[in-house]
Amino acid sequence: MTRRRTLLLGGAAAVGVVAVGGVAATGRLDDVARELGLDPVPQPAEGDTALLSEAAEDQARLVAVVGSLSATLVPLLEEHLDALGGAATSTVAPAPDLASARATLAAAASVRRDQSEAAVSPDLARTLGSIAAALSLMGSGVVA
């Protein structure tokens, strides 16, 4: 199976986005560059960069919302945050109880699903889709 680290190496660098985003626009220039012995690196699609940033910010919020309510969920959420290149925040209050936190996670799953659908890069789409699936299972209590 494909490991996520091959999709989003280096957190916010989002190699997958970089690899796919600008191919169409820069293809001819890339060919020229390769003939010159260079290794061109296309720019990510602008929308994908924004999606990645939004997702990372929201994942930081989720880590804070769950807080100490679940020793199972937090490490998983921190993995998401790490992969997206986000940083923990201390400005968000934890949810009053686990049920409330799960409702927040379920809502975030829906957002992440929409972000995956909006992504141009297939690799970013897969990563956000995978996070959406994980959040969905956390929100529904399948992951307890």
Which residues of this chain interact with another protein, rule CB under 8 A?
1-4, 7, 72, 75-77, 79-80, 83, 113, 116-117, 122-123, 125-127, 129-134, 136-137, 142-143
Residue type, 103: A
3 versus 28: smaller Cβ distance to another protein: 3
Query: Distance (Å, rounded) from C-alpha 66 to C-alpha 9?
Result: 26
5 versus 34: smaller Cβ distance to another protein: 5
128: enclosing H helix or E strand: helix 122-139
Query: Distance (Å, rounded) from C-alpha 66 to C-alpha 74?
Result: 7
- Asked if residue 101 lies in contact with residue 135, where contact means CB atoms within 8 angstroms, the answer is no
Minimum CB distance to another protein, residue 132 (Å): 6
**CB environment 38-66: b (16+ within 10 A), e (fewer):** eeeebebbeebbebbeebbebbbbbbbbb
Minimum CB distance to another protein, residue 72 (Å): 6
Minimum CB distance to another protein, residue 116 (Å): 6
| CA atoms within 13 A of residue 114's CA, in its CB half-sphere | 7
33 versus 133: smaller Cβ distance to another protein: 133
Minimum CB distance to another protein, residue 31 (Å): 25
1 versus 93: smaller Cβ distance to another protein: 1
40 versus 129: smaller Cβ distance to another protein: 129
Residue 140 DSSP SS3? coil
Minimum CB distance to another protein, residue 35 (Å): 30
